[in-house]
Chain A
């Protein structure tokens, strides 16, 4: 029983959706743009740009002003749209709310291998915690590259979402930020940290804290360090000092000198 209708129904069933990356591939072939919009970030409005691979930029509006300024400084053409596509919008909202990258795709394809590794490592730092530059250098297997880590973070195209504000100076002071130290402080404050306290500890030379019940030392903002009761809390000026007292490093925050 082959009638014309059966055939045309089957033919209509041959239609397929184009692969998801088609638009992005076309835009790349034509040197066309990312898209961008303005969202409410953790501490104010920000421009956020993306392409088919993920987020490409995050810039606080107080740093660039008008959309025209943003488009000028963005490395590719960028077209304003009202909102990111559905799924990306959901992931983005989750990242802004939680301070964790989660499943939010980021496009680091146009930056170098070293910087990409620095940024990926940086993204592992949980909200409400800070690490020194040297920690990233050591974690990515380049313990001597502390300055290069600082430079790589200073050129982070997706700050806030990739939380380079959670990386501080080796002496414990909060240090510089691409959009100014006050913004770094307010981002940390937003995550429940007290910038004054961080600076005070740095001045006192406190780099690490340990618990005399567990014999483990951590970075002061490690979630395990925060649980230490005041009467069991021991402060150390260096890794060596902690080790000399018979303490071992926390396996979660993996402190290094």
Chain B
């Protein structure tokens, strides 16, 4: 996965249209997994995933070769995705009844056969919703998507040490939350 990304900026610079599908293939699972946590429902996550790459493509079309070669692709694409997720969440909060309606349907997502290790997507989204925005971003991007702290710093424009402490605090908060759940 990383090996593909290593050579990808050069390939994108030389032959954008041919290399672009590999950018999508390499990053789509990560973007979708993150978007599932950052947006109100699965449909939004799918839209955000597609729109992220559509915007990335348009941006690449306007960049010159050197700028493309210098891109840190994963953080760069995540910057786009995070913006879209934020907009999606904002729209949803303006129309809470709509978000709620789809979310109820969304609880069935995991029964579609892709359930892994009994992890309940909906339950975890509720837990993650109790974190601050920056904590949730750091936790999801690092522990769910697998970005390094440096890459998250690159995506969010915040310092790496800030990201580390966001993630640490977020984990501590989740630990407390789970212990409370066990006591109930």
Question: With A2-B179, A4-B171, A22-B50 as given contacts, are A15 and B21 in contact (CB-CB < 8 Å)?
Answer: no
Which residue from B24, B124, B171 sits with its C-beta under 8 Å from A22? Answer: B24
Asked whether B29 lies within 8 Å of A23 as measured between CB atoms, the reply is no
Count of chain A to chain B residue pairs whose CB atoms are closer than 8 Å in the complex? 95
Which residues of A lie under 8 Å from residue B28 when comparing CB positions?
Answer: 18, 22-23
Interface string of B80-94 (1 = CB under 8 A from A): 000000000000000
Report if B53 contacts A (CB, 8 A): yes
Report if A144 contacts B (CB, 8 A): no
Asked whether B182 lies within 8 Å of A29 as measured between CB atoms, the reply is no
Which residues of B lie under 8 Å from residue A8 when comparing CB positions?
Answer: 143, 171
Q: How far is the CB of A7 from chain B (nearest CB, A)?
A: 5
Asked whether A12 lies within 8 Å of B50 as measured between CB atoms, the reply is no
Which residues of B lie under 8 Å from residue A77 when comparing CB positions?
Answer: 17
Asked whether A15 lies within 8 Å of B29 as measured between CB atoms, the reply is yes
Question: With A29-B54, A30-B57, A32-B20 as given contacts, are A13 and B32 in contact (CB-CB < 8 Å)?
Answer: no
Report if A180 contacts B (CB, 8 A): no
A22 to B81, CA, bound (A): 15
For window 121-177 of B, CB contacts with A under 8 Å fall at: 121, 124, 139-140, 143-146, 171, 174-175
Report if B119 contacts A (CB, 8 A): yes
The chain B residue sitting closest to A79, CB to CB, is B18
A32 to B139, CA, bound (A): 34
Asked whether A10 lies within 8 Å of B119 as measured between CB atoms, the reply is yes
The chain A residue sitting closest to B117, CB to CB, is A13
Q: How far is the CB of B29 from chain A (nearest CB, A)?
A: 5
Report if A252 contacts B (CB, 8 A): no
Which residues of B lie under 8 Å from residue A32 when comparing CB positions?
Answer: 17, 20-21, 57
Q: How far is the CB of B106 from chain A (nearest CB, A)?
A: 12
Report if B36 contacts A (CB, 8 A): yes
Q: How far is the CB of A51 from chain B (nearest CB, A)?
A: 11
For window 56-74 of A, CB contacts with B under 8 Å fall at: none
Report if A27 contacts B (CB, 8 A): yes
Q: Is the interface of B mostly helix, strand, loop or mixed?
A: helix
Which residues of B lie under 8 Å from residue A4 when comparing CB positions?
Answer: 171, 175
Report if B114 contacts A (CB, 8 A): yes
Asked whether A26 lies within 8 Å of B171 as measured between CB atoms, the reply is no
A2 to B176, CA, bound (A): 9
Report if A249 contacts B (CB, 8 A): no
Interface string of B42-85 (1 = CB under 8 A from A): 00001001110110011000000000000000000000000000
Asked whether A11 lies within 8 Å of B29 as measured between CB atoms, the reply is no
Asked whether B21 lies within 8 Å of A7 as measured between CB atoms, the reply is no
The chain A residue sitting closest to B125, CB to CB, is A14
A79 to B15, CA, bound (A): 10
Q: How far is the CB of A182 from chain B (nearest CB, A)?
A: 35
Which residues of A lie under 8 Å from residue B29 when comparing CB positions?
Answer: 15-18
Which residues of A lie under 8 Å from residue B30 when comparing CB positions?
Answer: 15
Which residues of B lie under 8 Å from residue A18 when comparing CB positions?
Answer: 28-29, 31-32, 46, 49
- A sample of 22 inter-chain contacts (CB < 8 A) reads A2-B175, A2-B182, A4-B175, A7-B171, A10-B119, A11-B124, A11-B143, A11-B144, A14-B33, A14-B121, A14-B144, A17-B32, A17-B114, A18-B46, A18-B49, A25-B50, A26-B54, A29-B50, A29-B54, A30-B20, A33-B17, A79-B21
